[in-house]
Each structure stands twice: as C-alpha cells, then as structure tokens.
Amino acid sequence: MGDIEEVEGLQRRWMQAWLDQDMATCEAILAPEFRLRSVATDTVVEREEWLAQAESGRIAGTAFVYEEMDVGVMDDCAVTMARTRQEASIEGRDWSATLHITDVWVRRFGAWQVVARHASPLVGRGGPQAAAGD
C-alpha cells in the first residue's frame, strides 16, 4: 500500500472510530500536539479536550461520509482536503453538516498521525449552507 492509500485509510478509520466511540483508535491516530479549529464553537480544541468530548458523547456522530478526498504526500507530511457529510450532535443539539475539512498528517517512526484539522462550512454549491445569492 502506498502512502496516499494509507493516509486515506487512516482518515476513514479515524472518523469510524469517532462514530464507534473507539477511543483507543482515536488516541493512536491523534498526535500528542493535535489541534482542530471547531466549526461549532469557532475555537481551537486541543487533543485531550477533543478526546474527552468524544468519549463522553458531548459530541456524537451517527454518520460520516467522505464525498470527495484529495491526499497529497510530501516526504513525511501529508495533507488531506475533503468534502464531508456528517450526521452529528453536540449536547443533544443537531450538528449535521456538509463541510470542507483539511487535515495535516506527519509520519514519525514509520507511523502516520494527524496533527491538525480545520473545517469550514460548504458554501457556493447550493443547500442550506450556500453562499447568499448562489
């Protein structure tokens, strides 16, 4: 398996682990310095906070689909850019959305881990999150 296929597989495995509340897999995939920009709160969320929220069910998903994914690998760094669709909730409130997600991965000691995620709402393609006047 090549690097692109490996990172793509890890992307899917990570989100399936989130859906399944498989924290051991999430912990293995998230690098110690992992951070993400939360679409829901517009804040930066550190690894431990994300894991705690996922484990407690505060953020819970019932479906996650990669509608498209592009993976670029440069030596021991990979960047994924994807359009995703999720069915999820935060503290019981609907948080379902179609998002653009960018993840940064690093390979250390032969294993890939994700170090950063940025997500933004899908705009300009129709639907509830379309740009005004689209």
What residues contact 2, with CB distance under 8 A and at least 6 apart?
none
Give the single-character DSSP code of 130: P
The Cα–Cα gap between 53 and 91 comes to: 10
Q: What is the predicted pLDDT for the residue at 112?
A: 98
Q: What is the predicted pLDDT for the residue at 130?
A: 43
pLDDT, mean of each 10-residue run, the chain (134 residues): 96 97 98 93 93 93 97 98 95 93 97 96 60 43
**Tokens 């310095």, located at residue:** 33
H or E element at residue 20: helix 3-20
Going along the chain from its start, the domains and CATH numbers come out as: 3-121 (3.10.450.50)
